[in-house]
Structure 1
Amino acid sequence: MTMINIFEVNETNKMIDQENLDVRTITMGISLMDCMDSDLTEVNRKVYEKITKKARHLVATGEEIETEYGIPIVNKRISVTPIALVGSAACKTSEDYVTLARTLDRAAKEVGVNFIGGYSALVSKGMTPAEELLIRSIPQALACTERVCSSVNVGSTKTGINMDAVKLMGEMILETAKATKEKDSLGCAKLVVFCNAPDDNPFMAGAFHGVTEADTIINVGVSGPGVVKTALEKVRGADFETLCETIKKTAFKVTRVGQLVAQEASKRLEVPFGIIDLSLAPTPAIGDSVADILREIGVEYAGAPGTTAALALLNDQVKKGGVMASSAVGGLSGAFIPVSEDQGMIDSVNAGALTLEKLEAMTCVCSVGLDMIAIPGDTPASTISGIIADEAAIGMVNQKTTAVRVIPVIGKDVGEIVEFGGLLGYAPIMPVNRFSCENFVNRGGRIPAPIHSFKN
């Protein structure tokens, strides 16, 4: 990377001090393929030893870079090979898989990371018995661990949507909510269902280390909604060309910070650099909101007419600006629109401007999907499956990543508030369409891939 000049340094310092610029995460991806064994005790031993050996300096290195460059690095995390694969030879029951979840949690605590992702299964076309065992173990695994994150990929543009897996995931989300009801169903905040899941995503809860990746890599996720909003305040009322140029230039600057951190972390840890994920990821902090950017673009609240167009513009310009600032952009990259983690989104829900249906429309043009949305605890599993199927269809047809992370909060209903704390924030319980899709979900089988998937 070319040397950053003093003007850029001063500008970056201002973005950090006043506009909530941060590197959201350094995520070390670790392959556990060489930990496979027919003996469960051996698998657990190998998994623990490899993670603690490879990631032992991850947190300290992140803190060193923070101190030397003055760049906040909020999270240090680990992603691993989907555990459904790692445990496939040794795990004969769901409880066997839960032992691996406990091992991941223990390893994460030992090295000091806040989350470890990869308690995952990739079942977009079908499920092996081992993958089904892992999926059925998710409620118990998330109830007995603190730092483990789980994800399941149920569809892709190339394969279609595995509706058997979609049905099962609706049930498992509800079971996870019940298993963690004493914590306001917090387990569901660490569980995401994907279509077209990327192999190199550094963000939780969906991160896993894809089998196409190197043995160990460093992926970095940058974030600066506050920086973009501040930049747009200076061009208030200007035309769309000016607006787009401003977002693009700002995304370039934000991504340069991530590239610097990624290169430093890679060099110091002697681990190859993977990708920069340049997603605008909000936090509950005031001034760190994607919804506030949309308001600055010109809609009264996120959810008002024009919101989807504004989000499409924002997402595209972030990618155009960021891709020039890094040698490798990947992961999800764009703009996250979680409800609980974004004060502006919460305000929009409370104002009556934002519904689940409008959020679904917005996911057609943003990075991920329905993210961190609290729904009534009595929502049927089939309805949750229907929501997953709708979101997966958007991803499948549009050749993009979509996801669902909904939290049916047991014992709470529309209008009540649920507090998750920390980075996960708080959320109003949103209403869900009460008409049934049970007959649709119960058909079983697979929705075929769309015609444009055939590109061989």
Structure 2
Amino acid sequence: MINIGEVLETNEMVEKENLDVRTITIGISLLDCIDSDLQKLNEKIYNKITTVAKNLVKVGNEIESNYCIPIVNKRISVTPIALVGGAACKSPEDFATIADTMDRAAKQVGVNLIGGYSALVSKGMTKADEMLIRSIPIALHRTERVCSSVNLASTKTGINMDAVKLMGEIILEVAEISKDNDSADCMKLVVFCNAPDDNPFMAGAFHGVTETDAVINVGVSGPGVVLRAVEKVKGESFEVLCETIKKTAFKVTRVGQLVAKEASRMLNIPFGIVDLSLAPTPAVGDSVADILCSIGLEYAGAPGTTAALAMLNDQVKKGGVMASSYVGGLSGAFIPVSEDQGMINAVEAGAINLEKLEAMTCVCSVGLDMIAIPGDTPATTISGMIADEMALGMVNQKTTAARLIPAIGKKVGDQVEFGGLFGYAPIMPVNPFSCADFINRGGRIPAPIHSFKN
């Protein structure tokens, strides 16, 4: 049982170390909304979302007040819309009307983001999948709170290279249509390998078809807390360091467990999982990269970075799984460039490049996250970067992703400004050599041999 004493123990973490619950996310199944009439489908979707999630913000605020725990975001994820809209949508514009409906519903209930404008195409694309993907640029541009994700690969199915090629083109379209705002619409679009059904974090959250009708998932975040703990054992052995990180992760995850159980009780919706990812912000002292520096690196990206990140990620998971009855989602360290001041500093110092970031993604949960690249990067090069990230996830049997921002009109040396939790990002150089012939082959890269475990 969780008691108030455990909550009181976190007061200093909240007040001095940037501890927060990053999000309470309600996952909502829209499978019972499916209809061949587009107007009726949109009406059902709006009514379902606004009914199930009508008290989410109110309850989140009450928990925040009762326990003095900051809850930064209240969010919604829904069943991948390519599945929901397949019977009614005959064109990309038809799908975009569903994005409009999702946005209206999100505004009505007061959440900041809604995810699930998604397609699962790791082995092949249906006509509905392709229409949804082609609708993404306009859907994201004319909505405020809708987030989109596409699962392109899995360990069991391999990599859908046709979809990888298409997503390179779509990402450039998303960038172009929002070029007057530093191509910021790309922040709301992510591609995955092995996407989990229960991820509460945006832009990748969707409500998987293996889930129940509605569920509460919570994402916690405590880079600042872990940083302070690591600073206290400077110079100590790895054994002491690992024990310190585990104990700290346990305390942070207990806060998430408390919030999740309270939200579940008050909303009368089942508790799903706690995602114990270390999710940074641009705030001083809230950086994953700073933890790596405190472990002993001059900058993130220095030799030893991948080993340090692997150790950090593993100890956070070991501590977290003991603190919650259900851990899921991504549950690892995020290493976005724009959202982490320490990562920004490392890029600006020349300590880290895309190749090193790619190596680091082998041992953490997300991938090439919030990476700003020159706006004239070819679509095939973007697809090649995505393919590399998908391969890491497929072969290593883990979740990987890419959220790339080709900033139209910007070049290496410039930066893009997003504001708030998204911060800013320096434009990173991209390998100039072509992979077009590779990307244009078409078809699918088969699943690796170790995927056959039946």
| Structures share fold, TM-score greater than 0.5 | yes
Contact 2:7 2:67 in 1 (8 A): no
Partner of 2:188: 190
Q: Secondary structure at the match of 1:430?
A: coil
What SS is found at the alignment partner of 2:362?
A: coil
Q: What corresponds to 2:207 in structure 1?
A: 209
Match of 1:437 in 2: 435
Corresponding residue number in structure 2 for 1:138: 136
Pairing 1:450–2:448 present: yes
Superposition map of 1:158-177 within 5 A:
158-177=156-175
| Matched residue, 2:105 | 107
Decide which of 386, 391, 406 is 1:408's aligned counterpart. Answer: 406
SS at match of 2:334: coil
User: What is the distance in 2 between the residues matched to 1:11 and 1:238?
Assistant: 25
Match of 2:218 among 197, 217, 220: 220
Distance 2:161 2:335 in 1: 25
Distance in structure 1 (CA, Å) of the matches to 2:405 and 2:325: 36
How far, CA to CA, are the matches of 1:61 and 1:299 in structure 2? 42
Amino acid at match of 2:156: K
Which of these residues, 343, 347, 364, is aligned with residue 345 of structure 1? 343
Q: Equivalents in 1 of 2:308, 2:255: separation in Å?
A: 25
Aligned counterparts of 1:159 and 1:55: Cα–Cα separation in 2: 34
RMSD between aligned alpha carbons?
A: 0.6
Q: Which ranges of 4 or more aligned residues in structure 1 deviate by more than 2 Å?
A: 1-5, 8-11
Does residue 87 of the first structure (1) align with residue 85 of the second (2)?
yes
Tell me the distance in 2 between the aligned counterparts of 1:106 and 1:379. 34
| 1:2 Cα deviation after fit | 3.9
Cα distance in 1, alignment partners of residues 65 and 166 from structure 2: 46
Cα offset for 1:10? 3.7
Of 383, 386, 392, the residue aligned with 1:385 is 383
Deviates more, 1:220-229 or 1:177-186: 177-186
Q: In structure 2, how many angstroms separate the alpha carbons of the residues matched to 1:413 and 1:44?
A: 41
The 2-side partners of 1:46 and 1:182 are apart by 35
Matched, 1:253 2:259: no
**Runs of at least 5 residues in structure 2 that lack an aligned partner in the other structure:** none
Q: How far apart are residue 415 of structure 1 and its match?
A: 1.0
* SS at 2:65 equivalent: helix
| Secondary structure of residue in 2 paired with 1:406 | strand
Contact 2:413 2:427 survives alignment (8 Å): yes
Number of the residue aligned with 1:3 = 3
Counterpart check, 1:427 vs 2:425: yes
Structure 2 residue 67 is the aligned partner of structure 1 residue 63: no
Aligned to 2:82, the other structure's residue is in SS state helix
Q: TM-score, length-normalised on structure 1?
A: 0.99
Q: Tell me which residue corresponds to 1:237.
A: 235
SS at match of 2:330: coil
Question: For 1:203-352, what aligned pairs fall within 5 Å after superposition?
Answer: 203-352=201-350
Q: CA deviation at 1:417?
A: 1.2
Partner SS state of residue 10, structure 2:
helix
AA of the residue aligned to 2:3: M
Distance in 1, Cα, partners of 2:422 & 2:122: 28
Whole-Å Cα distance in 2 between the matches of residues 133 and 327 of structure 1?
Answer: 39
Query: What displacement does 1:422 show?
Result: 1.1
CA offset digits 1:329-381 (Å, max 9, x no partner): 00000100000000000000000001000000000000110000100000000
What is the TM-score of this pair, normalised by structure 2? 0.99
**Secondary structure of residue in 2 paired with 1:274:** strand
In the TM superposition, what is the alpha-carbon distance from 1:3 to its structure 2 partner? 2.6
Q: Which runs of 5 or more residues in structure 1 are unaligned?
A: none
| Distance in 2 (alpha carbons) for counterparts of 1:10 and 1:352 | 42
- Tell me how far apart the structure 2 counterparts of residues 107 and 39 of structure 1 sit (CA, whole Å): 19
Tell me the distance in 2 between the aligned counterparts of 1:417 and 1:148: 25
Kept after mapping to 1: 8 A contact 2:336/2:343: yes
Classify the secondary structure of the residue corresponding to 1:117: strand
Structure 1 residue 4, shift from structure 2 partner: 4.6
Which residue matches 2:177? 179
**Structure 1 residue aligned with 2:33:** 35
State the AA in 1 paired with 2:274.
I
**Distance in 2, Cα, partners of 1:190 & 1:286:** 24
Give the % identical residues.
79
- How many pairs are equivalent? 454
